């Protein structure tokens, strides 16, 4: 007879979560496709229909994932917020540097607005994935039910 030890890490790994990571990566993929499409036209003025549709889809998928995440019970919010703050800082700096390149190359008007919004999506999706991945594997203390 083999005894199976139940470790706290096993409990954290076995817990089921909504598809937060998959949705966030999907949102990131949509915005990256839109950004590549727009960058392929610069310095000419790019058509905005496809990039705006991809940006809207990305924002919608991101919002769905955030709502799903907000509804998770007994989640390690402290580690989540600790990680997301630092990751967000790093990705905002990175997005700012990319934005500078577009401005430096004379992007302006509606194309610049769309690129800026895409960079915002880029800068918030990756930190959310990183923070969720860290927090989901944190072992939450068991609460005793008094019946």
Higher pLDDT, 143 or 37: 37
> According to the model, what pLDDT value does residue 93 have?
96
Q: What is the pLDDT of residue 144?
A: 52
CA angle (127, 128, 133) in 5-degree steps: 100
3-state secondary structure the chain: CCCCCCCHHHHHHHCCCCCHHHHHHHHHHHHHHHHHHHHCCCCCCCCCHHHHHHHHHHHHHHHHHHHHHHCCCCCCHHHHHHHHHHHHHHHHHHHHHHHHHHHHCCCCHHHHHHHHHHHHHHHHHHHHHHHHHHHHCCCCCCCCCCC
Question: b/e map of 78-110 (b: 16 or more CB within 10 Å)?
Answer: eebeebbeebbeebbeebeebbeebeeeebeee
Q: How many domains does the chain have?
A: 1
- Does residue 145 lie in a domain region? no
pLDDT band per the 50, 70, 90 thresholds, residue 101: confident
- Is the residue at 79 inside a domain? yes
- Retrieve residue 111's tokens: 């194309």
Dump pLDDT digits (tens) for 46-80: 899 999 999 999 999 999 999 999 999 889 999 99
143 lies in a domain?
A: no
Task: Over range 96-108, report the average pLDDT.
Answer: 85
> What pLDDT is stored for residue 5 in this prediction?
45
69 domain-assigned? yes
Is 95 a domain residue? yes
**Dihedral angle sign, alpha carbons of residues 120, 89, 17, 143:** negative
Q: What is the pTM of this model?
A: 0.80
Domain membership flag for residue 122: yes
Range of the domain at 27: 18-136
User: Residue 35 falls within a domain, yes or no?
Assistant: yes
Q: Is residue 7 part of a domain?
A: no
């Amino acid at each position: 007879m083999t005894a199976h030890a139940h470790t706290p890490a096993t409990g954290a790994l076995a817990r089921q979560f909504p598809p937060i990571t998959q949705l966030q990566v999907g949102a990131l993929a949509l915005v990256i496709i839109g950004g590549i499409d727009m960058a392929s036209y610069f310095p000419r003025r790019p058509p905005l229909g496809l990039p705006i549709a991809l940006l809207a889809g990305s924002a919608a998928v991101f919002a769905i994932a955030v709502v799903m995440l907000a509804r998770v019970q007994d989640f390690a919010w402290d580690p989540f917020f600790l990680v997301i703050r630092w990751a967000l800082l790093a990705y905002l700096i990175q997005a700012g540097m990319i934005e500078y390149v577009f401005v430096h190359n004379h992007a302006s008007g509606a194309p610049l607005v769309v690129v800026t919004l895409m960079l915002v999506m880029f800068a918030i999706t990756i930190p959310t994935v990183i923070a969720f991945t860290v927090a989901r594997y944190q072992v939450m203390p068991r609460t005793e039910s008094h019946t």
